[in-house]
């Protein structure tokens, strides 16, 4: 699980709830009608903006980001060095037998085993990376749009509450409570936007950057293998994708081949 995301959400909610509890009654901040307007309106408008499958994919991606640890680029470098050892010792055809859960790596190994040229490998794998970027952009955009819609529906709910409040001005005792309820929808919209939707979009974007780096490492590693570069040269080329302070030395990488 992504510990940073978990800590961020729990600490954010805890601080807000604590501040509300210390300043008054927590029940004053619960309003079913306001939640219906903000959350229901945000979901409805999102479904109008995007295709249903894109919205479902966005929530699945959000669950995946928060439940799975990100892949270390050093592991991608080690994987490509392992494959270079296999290709140099047993031939490129042996790469077609590699078992992996990564469809991208499986495609790269298939192209290598088929003896494809550098241009073909680069073009095919670059297209895969670009298509992944576009798919992820749509997923991120779902939450970015929800981050915009939620405060707008919060304001809409406030306006509805104000209209209802003004229609009962003959009873001054109800003005204060009615005004509080009207403002709650703005609170709900801001809370959902700033603590959930926009941070999730940002987290998805950061994960996409890391995933693209891993894919580019595998692409350049495949090109190095077809060029018959030795493992040391491959390491030097691929480790350039990683920050120097996070880069593992070649000697400390786990290059033991799985059977």
Task: Give yes or no: residues 181 and 237 share one domain.
Answer: yes
Task: Give yes or no: residues 21 and 88 share one domain.
Answer: no
What's the pLDDT band for 196 if we cut at 50, 70, 90? very high
Task: Give yes or no: residues 26 and 117 share one domain.
Answer: no
Task: Give yes or no: residues 38 and 25 share one domain.
Answer: no
What is residue 258's predicted lDDT score, i.e. its pLDDT? 46
pTM of the model: 0.84
The answer, yes or no, to whether residue 134 has pLDDT greater than 80, is: yes
What's the pLDDT band for 10 if we cut at 50, 70, 90? confident
Query: pLDDT (tens digit, 9 = 90+) per residue, 94-107?
Result: 998 888 889 999 99
Residue 116 lies in a domain: yes
Task: Give yes or no: residues 60 and 118 share one domain.
Answer: yes
**Which residue range is the domain that position 144 belongs to?**
32-252
Query: pLDDT (tens digit, 9 = 90+) per residue, 142-172?
Result: 999 999 999 999 999 899 888 878 877 777 7
Q: How many domains does the chain contain in total?
A: 2
Task: Give yes or no: residues 20 and 38 share one domain.
Answer: no
What's the pLDDT band for 259 if we cut at 50, 70, 90? very low
Mean pLDDT for the chain overall: 88
| Cα–Cα distance measured from residue 200 to residue 198, given in angstroms and rounded to the nearest whole number | 5
What is residue 256's predicted lDDT score, i.e. its pLDDT? 62
Percentage of residues in the chain with pLDDT exceeding 90? 54
The answer, yes or no, to whether residue 67 has pLDDT greater than 70, is: yes
The answer, yes or no, to whether residue 255 has pLDDT greater than 80, is: no
Q: Which of 50-54, 71-75, 217-221 has the lowest mean pLDDT?
A: 71-75
Mean pLDDT of 129-138: 94
Task: Give yes or no: residues 8 and 51 share one domain.
Answer: no
Mean pLDDT of 39-55: 95
Residue 258 lies in a domain: no
DSSP state of 224: H
* Cα dist from 149 to 25, 104, 203, 222, whole Å: 28, 35, 19, 44
What's the pLDDT band for 257 if we cut at 50, 70, 90? low
Hey, is 50 helix, strand or coil? coil
Mean pLDDT of 218-230: 91
Task: Give yes or no: residues 1 and 47 share one domain.
Answer: no
| Cα–Cα distance measured from residue 125 to residue 199, given in angstroms and rounded to the nearest whole number | 30
Q: Which two tokens stand for residue 79?
A: 């994987």
| Cα–Cα distance measured from residue 240 to residue 224, given in angstroms and rounded to the nearest whole number | 14
Residues 56-85 as b or e (16 or more Cβ within 10 Å = b): ebbeebbeebeeeeeeebbebbbbbbbbbe
Task: Give yes or no: residues 191 and 111 share one domain.
Answer: yes
DSSP state of 37: I
Task: Give yes or no: residues 10 and 113 share one domain.
Answer: no
């Amino acid at each position: 699980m992504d510990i940073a995301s978990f800590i961020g959400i729990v600490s954010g909610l805890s601080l807000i709830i604590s501040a509300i509890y210390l300043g008054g009654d927590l029940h004053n901040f619960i309003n079913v009608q306001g939640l219906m307007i903000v959350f229901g309106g945000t979901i409805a408008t999102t479904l109008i903006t995007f295709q249903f499958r894109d919205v479902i994919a966005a929530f699945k991606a959000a669950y995946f980001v928060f439940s799975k640890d990100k892949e270390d680029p050093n592991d991608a470098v080690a994987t490509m060095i392992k494959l270079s050892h296999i290709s140099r010792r047993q031939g490129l055809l042996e790469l077609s037998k590699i078992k992996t859960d990564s469809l991208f790596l499986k495609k790269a190994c298939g192209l290598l085993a088929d003896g494809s040229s550098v241009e073909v490998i680069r073009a095919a794998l670059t297209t895969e990376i670009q298509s992944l970027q576009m798919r992820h952009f749509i997923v991120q955009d779902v939450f970015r749009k929800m981050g915009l819609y939620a405060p707008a529906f919060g304001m809409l709910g406030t306006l509805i509450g104000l209209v209802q409040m003004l229609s009962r001005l003959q009873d001054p005792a109800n003005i204060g409570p009615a005004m509080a309820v009207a403002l709650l929808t703005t609170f709900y919209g801001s809370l959902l936007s700033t603590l959930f939707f926009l941070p999730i979009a940002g987290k998805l974007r950061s994960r996409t950057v890391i995933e693209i780096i891993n894919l580019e490492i595998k692409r350049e590693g495949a090109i190095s293998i077809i060029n018959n570069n030795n493992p040391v040269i491959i390491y030097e080329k691929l480790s350039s994708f990683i920050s120097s302070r996070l880069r593992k030395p070649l000697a400390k990488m786990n290059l033991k081949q799985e059977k």
